[in-house]
Structure 1
C-alpha cells in the first residue's frame, strides 16, 4: 500500500487540508473557514479519516504564536493569538486524540519557506513573508528553520512610520503600530474605511503600505542576508504591490550592501494560492514519519 502524507495549513481565515504521495504531489484537498477550534479541527479530522490507514503522518503549519518546543507542557498549543477562541488551545492534542499519527508542528510561514526551498534546491537560505490578515515570516538556512527558544515572529518587528501615516495607531492588539499593525490587510480598511480589494490601485495608501513591507525586507537583508525573500499572502497577490515594494526597498537600502537583481531577490511564491505550504508540509510529514520508523 502506498503511503500518503497529510498537510494542514491552519490559517487565521481558512484551513487547507491536503493529502499527497511520496513524490509530494497533491492528490486531494479541502478548504473551509477557520471557525471555533473544535468544529474547525473536526472538519480536518474527518477529511483525513476518509483515507483510512493510508495517511501515515501529518504536518501542521499554523497561524501563531504557537508552542513548538516538544519538551514544553504546552507543546502543540496555539498560545497568545488575538484570534477569538483559539488562545491557549491544544491543537495537536485535539488532532492526536482522533488521529494517532506522527505529527510535525510548525508555523504556516515555516511550512511555506520549507516548500519554497524544496522547489528551488539551489537555494541554501531564504525568508518567506505572508502579508495577509496577519503578517508572519519563516526563515530557512541549510534546510533548517531559524529559531531558538521558539519560532520567529518577524511580523511584529517595529518599523519607522511613514511621515504621512503618523496619525494611524495601527491595528495590532499587542503592539499597535508594529509591522503587522500597519501593513497587514486589516490596516487598509482601518485607514480608509474601504476593504483592500475595493481600494483604487492609484491610491497613495498602497505606497504607504509598501514602505513598511520594504522596511521588513531591508531589515531581513541586513540581519539574515538570505539569498531570496519571498512575499506571499493576499496583499502581495496584487502585481502592483511587488513593484512598489521593490522600488521602496531600493531607496531604503541605498546600495549599502549588494543584493541580487531585485526581480529575482524580492519574489512572489513559486506556486499560486500558497501551495508551497502544502508541499512543504508533505515533506515535513514524510521526514517525521521517517524519524518514527
Structure 2
C-alpha cells in the first residue's frame, strides 16, 4: 500500500502580509494564499482557516515552519519564546505567534525570523546555493537581515537587527529626518518602504525609474552593504523585499558600492559588485521555501524519512 506524502505548512509572516503554503516540499506546493497583516486576532484566524480548509482538500498537516517579522524572541528557554516583542508595527507588540498557531493547529513547529527563513530558502535552493557565508537582506516594510556564517544563522542575545545600523546622512542633500520611531535616521528609517513613502509623499512602487528617490536609495543601500561586508565578510549579499522589485536599482548600488570600497582589499567576492550584491534566486518565494524547509526540520523522526523522499 502506497503511503501518503507528509504535508508541510509554511508561513512567511511579514509586516505587510502573511504568505501561507501547504506542500510536500518547497518545490511541490499544493495550495497557497496571502493575507494582509491587520490585527493579530484577525490575521492569525485567517491563517488558521487557510490550513484548516487546505487540509480538507489535501490531507493532514504534519509540521509547520513560521518565519516571522520582528523583533522576535528566539530563546527556547524564555517565557516569551515565539513572541513578537517590541515592534513599531501597530497592535503586534507582545504577540504570541508560535503559541497562537500551534495551539490551534496542533502540530510541531519551527520558529525563526522572516529573514532567516528567506536566507535558508536562498541558501538551499536560490542565489546562495553552495555558499556557507552570506546575508539575505529584506528591504520592505522594514529592513532586516538573515546572517549565515559557516552554514548557520547567527543568533546571539537576540537576532541581528541590521535595519537599525546608523549610516551617514547629508542633511542638506536629504533633509528627511528619518521614519524610525526609535532612531530616526537609521537605515530602516531612511530606506524602508514606509520611509520612502513618508519622504516623497507616494509609495515607492509608483516611482518612475528616473525618480530622484532611487539614486539616494542606492547610495544608502550600498553603504549598508559596505558596513555588512566589513562586519561579516560574506561571500554574497542578497537584497530582497518589496522595495527591491526594481531591477534598475542594482547597477546603481553596484556603482556606489565600488566607489565606497575605494579599492579596499575586502576579499575576492566583494571585489566584483555585480556578482556579490544580487537579487534573490527564488523570485519572491524565498521565505515560503525557507518556512517549508523549517517545517521539514520540525518533523518527528517517524515522519522524516517519508518527507525526504
Q: Normalization by structure 2: what TM-score?
A: 0.90
CA deviations on 1:63-115 (whole Å, 9 max, x unpaired) are: 10011111001111111111111111111111122111111111111100000
CA deviations on 1:36-72 (whole Å, 9 max, x unpaired) are: 1011111111111231662111111111001111100
Q: CA RMSD in A?
A: 1.7
Q: Unaligned 5+ residue runs, structure 2?
A: 304-309
Alpha-carbon offset, residue 6 of structure 1:
0.8
Runs of 4+ in 1 over 6 A off after TM superposition: none
One of 203, 210, 213 as aligned partner of 2:218: 210
Q: Unaligned 5+ residue runs, structure 1?
A: none
Q: Which residue of 1 aligns with 2:34?
A: 31
Alignment partners' CA distance in 2, 1:12 and 1:195: 16
> Match of 1:72, SS?
coil
Alignment partners' CA distance in 1, 2:99 and 2:31: 24
Over 3 Å counting, the alpha-carbon distance change for 1:211 and 1:271 in structure 2 is: same
CA deviations on 1:123-177 (whole Å, 9 max, x unpaired) are: 1111001111211110112331111122111111111114644421100111100
Contact 2:9 2:63 in 1 (8 A): yes
Higher relative contact order (CA 8 A, sep 6+): 2
One of 263, 287, 292 as aligned partner of 2:297: 287
Q: Normalization by structure 1: what TM-score?
A: 0.94
Contact 1:102 1:292 in 2 (8 A): no
> Match of 1:18, SS?
strand
Alpha-carbon offset, residue 195 of structure 1:
2.1
Contact 1:235 1:241 in 2 (8 A): no
Query: Do residues 3 (structure 1) and 6 (structure 2) align?
Result: yes
Contact 1:7 1:19 in 2 (8 A): yes
May I ask how many residue pairs the two structures share in their alignment?
292
CA deviations on 1:2-37 (whole Å, 9 max, x unpaired) are: 101111111111110001214652221001111110
Contact 2:218 2:256 in 1 (8 A): yes
Q: Which residue of 1 aligns with 2:139?
A: 131
Alignment partners' CA distance in 2, 1:216 and 1:71: 33
Over 3 Å counting, the alpha-carbon distance change for 1:259 and 1:249 in structure 2 is: farther
Q: Mapping of 1:193-232 within 5 angstroms? A: 193-232=201-240
Alpha-carbon offset, residue 184 of structure 1:
0.7
CA deviations on 1:193-220 (whole Å, 9 max, x unpaired) are: 2221222322222111111111110011
Q: Which residue of 2 aligns with 1:102?
A: 108
Alpha-carbon offset, residue 236 of structure 1:
1.0
Contact 2:26 2:289 in 1 (8 A): no
Contact 1:2 1:54 in 2 (8 A): no
Alpha-carbon offset, residue 258 of structure 1:
3.2
Over 3 Å counting, the alpha-carbon distance change for 1:247 and 1:164 in structure 2 is: farther
Contact 1:136 1:154 in 2 (8 A): yes
Q: Mapping of 1:67-146 within 5 angstroms? A: 67-119=73-125, 120-146=128-154
Contact 1:259 1:265 in 2 (8 A): no
Q: Which residue of 2 aligns with 1:242?
A: 250
Contact 2:140 2:241 in 1 (8 A): yes
> Match of 2:49, SS?
helix
Alignment partners' CA distance in 2, 1:31 and 1:200: 27
Q: Which residue of 2 aligns with 1:265?
A: 276
> Match of 2:299, SS?
helix
